[in-house]
Amino acid sequence: MADVKELRCVIGGCRYDVDEVSYTCPEHGEVATLDILYDYPALRAQLDRDAISASHTANCWRYKPLMPIACESKAPPLAVGWTPLYDTPRIAKNLGIRRVWVKDEGANPTGSLKDRASSLVLARALEKGFKTVSTASTGNAAAALAGLGASLPEVEIVIFVPASAPPAKIAQLLVYGAEVLLVEGSYDEAFDLCMETCAAQGWYSRNTGVNPFTTEGKKTVALEIAEQLNWKAPDVVAVSVGDGSIISGVHKGFSDLRQLGWIDRMPRLLGVQAEGSAVLAKACAGGVAAQDIVRQDASTIADSIASELPRDRAKALRAIRRSGGRFITVADAAIQAAIPEFAQLSGVFAEPAAAAAFAGLKRAVKTGIIHQDESVCIISTGNGLKDVARARDSVTGGIRVAPTRAAVESALQSRRLA
């Protein structure tokens, strides 16, 4: 394992030992999430990227030497990560840019990138001997924790999810056997309830951003993108943003690789928010510091990126700033239209929040934020089967026929004429 040097507060730079604090900085409060930092010169001397490239571990644990758990520690057995990176020339052509890749996170065991965070958090919970792990979630983080938790006999999972979450996501939780509290309120209310209950019951909280291990798990997507491109970063990485934890993890992954000298530059990050849930995009445009961000109403069809008060706001703003990146917003209509368009150009079926990254990239190219000679990796964060109702609304067609050859012929005929 990588010896953790310290936890460092993103607001005040306060330093803690990895076992000293579990969640946010006690000095600076809830906004002050923590970075898990390593002794990079020591890692640089010990590790070699070619040894990792030679690894036969076809999941995120191929990067265990860059993760904050002991080598001998147990991890959930489900195979998270090492998802495909597809070269998608038709998207590149369609958008008029040099090269586009799609990282298909919908291929993870429970269908979203959230598996990466849940896997590491559960490994940490096992190390620390927690019996119960809990999270609040718009759906995917909960499904990830419930699914990976079900692969371990040692832990119970308790989920706080808005009762309004898409049915497929709630079904996943129940099928995996988690204790599910359907909160009659927003994600943000579920989040606060979960934090309070964890404190009262002595449970371990996987809550996004607040638990520093979540960002550290999510960083593995960046490690994979770099490795799959033969230790090169694309010019731009496009990813959708709600709480800001994924984009922070992506930034941390590339940043660790820079510190190791394994890649020679940081990609610019394109953070895509829904117009109706754009707290971070607005703060960035208005020069508002993370500490001064206030809760705003959130409403979008892309439930996974609805966030009234982004929990990883400090790290997300920093990720955009330090990478020379940008936020961009997209309307719900553009997100909906992006579902079939993205699927038909790549073969990847994305849930609304994941298709939003494609919609945002499209808009970024149109507005000149991305140039035609650049290469872009779109992270497709979640599987389209997560929200079949929205997917169905995004398309028309299907020809109803009587079960006869004649009916089929006449249907095909009228379609040809149309």
Hey, what amino acid is at 406? Answer: A
Q: Please, what is the minimum distance in Å from the beta carbon of residue 213 to Zn ion?
A: 18
Task: Out of 298, 382, 387, 391, point to the residue binding ligand PLP (CB under 6 A).
Answer: 382
- The strand order across the sheet containing 236-240 reads 85-87, 99-104, 375-380, 236-240, 268-274, 326-330
With binding defined as CB under 5 A, does residue 32 bind Zn ion?
yes
Other beta carbons within 10 angstroms of residue 79's beta carbon come to: 16
CB of 384 to ligand PLP, least distance (A): 10
Site for ligand PLP in 65-104 (CB under 6 A): none
Task: Select the residue whose beta carbon is closest to ligand PLP and give its number.
Answer: 382
Residue 242 interacts with, from Zn ion, ligand PLP, none (CB under 5-8 Å by kind) = ligand PLP
Contacts of 140 by beta carbon, 8 Å cutoff, 6+ apart: 110, 111, 112, 113, 114, 169, 304, 382, 386
25 binds Zn ion (CB under 5 A): yes
Binding status of residue 21 toward Zn ion by CB under 5 A: no
Shortest CB 34 distance to Zn ion, Å: 8
Q: Site map for ligand PLP, 138-157, x if CB under 6 A?
A: --x-----------------
Q: Does 246 bind ligand PLP (CB under 6 A)?
A: yes
Report d(CA 338, CA 333) in Å as an integer: 9
Q: Give every CB contact of residue 413 below 8 A, 6+ residues apart in sequence.
A: none
281: left (phi over 0), alpha (psi -120 to 50) or beta: alpha
Least Cβ distance, residue 364 to ligand PLP (angstroms): 17
Does 351 help bind ligand PLP (rule: CB under 6 A)?
yes
Question: Could you say whether residue 20 binds Zn ion (CB under 5 A)?
Answer: no
Site membership for ligand PLP, residue 359 (CB under 6 A): no
Size of the site for Zn ion (CB under 5 A): 7
Contact status: 360 vs ligand PLP (CB under 6 A): no
d(CA 225, CA 221): 6
Give strand ranges (E) for 58-186.
85-87, 99-104, 132-136, 156-162, 179-183
- Interface with ligand PLP includes 33 (CB under 6 A)? no
Q: Does 243 bind ligand PLP (CB under 6 A)?
A: yes
Give the nearer residue to ligand PLP in terms of CB position, either 59 or 245: 245
Is-contact 125 151, C-beta < 8 A? no
State which residue, 31 or 158, has the beta carbon closest to Zn ion.
31
Neighbours of 375 (CB within 10 A): 18
Contact between 66 and 256 (Cβ < 8 Å): yes
Spatial separation of the C-alpha atoms in residues 218 and 239, rounded to whole Å: 12
Point out which residues pair with 103 in neighbouring strands: 85, 379
Minimum distance from residue 175 beta carbon to ligand PLP (Å): 18
Size of the site for ligand PLP (CB under 6 A): 19
- Pick one of ligand PLP, Zn ion, none as the site partner of residue 12 (Cβ within 5 to 8 A by kind): Zn ion
What residues line the site for Zn ion (CB under 5 A)? 9, 12, 14, 25, 27-28, 32
